[in-house]
Amino acid sequence: MKTPAELFSLKGKVAVVIGGTGELCGAMAEGLAAAGAAVAIVGRDETKAKVRLEKIAKDGGRADFFPCDATSKVGLQKLLADVLTKLGRVDVLVNGAGVNSPTPFFDITEDEFDKIITVNLKGLILGCQIFGKHMVEQKSGSIINLGSASGLNPLSRVFTYSASKAAVHNISKNLAREWATSGVRVNILVPGFFPAEQNRKVLNPERVAQIMGKTPMKRFGDASELIGATLLLASDAGSFITGTELVVDGGFDAMTI
């Protein structure tokens, strides 16, 4: 039997973090590296990635930046090939690219709708197709899809985002069932309210008061508080966990009047 330290270790593993230049997935990338994984940080902004790369290197880990348009099938195919060439394997995929908008329902344009659905859903599905096929063929792997509190119950003011995340939860469970006997686990990591970049535009004082009123811990989450859940889902510690929604929300989903 493995020790707890061995169960959570990712030594010798490679993790690909799509959206790793952002705040939440950036912290997740740091946690994966600290557990021993070589991390591919994927995004469009090399300047933002540099901060994470330097932090991981300073802490003794390994990370490389891979530029990619995560909504492009060709781009994602090249990403997989580049990661395999440079790092040799892929054991963990984090699908974390996302955009949000507080546009009132009657004012949502087709362009805005298409953008949110393309980034939040289409890109994730393409990532699962390309990396999932690789993992199924190698008979091992863990995919962590970033869900949302709005994927469990719709949140006001973020109509398209909520719809896209509900679909993310659904497809993730479907793939978990599909690939369960192929050694590939698919789970949904569900953050509650974290002051990430995409959420700041909707966090006016009234909204913050509403959130705090329904969050038993009475605070926002810190990005580093996603690391424990990430390591559980990525490592052998979670070897019998698939198709689950792992909620990290300070009690938000458990709250009622």
Catalytic sites, residue numbers: 161
Cα-only R_g, the chain: 18
Q: Please say whether the beta carbons of 245 and 188 come within 8 A.
A: yes
Instruction: List helix spans (H) across 44-189.
Output: 46-58, 73-87, 110-117, 123-138, 149-152, 159-179
For residue 142, list its beta bridge partners: 92, 185
Instruction: Assign residue 32 a region (left: φ > 0; alpha: ψ between -120 and 50; beta: otherwise).
Output: alpha
Tell me the C-alpha distance between 17 and 116, whole Å.
Answer: 19
Distance of CA 209 to the CA centre of its chain: 26
DSSP code of 235?
S
């997935």: which residue's tokens? 25
Could you give the CA distance from residue 90 to residue 236 in angstroms, rounded to a whole number?
A: 15
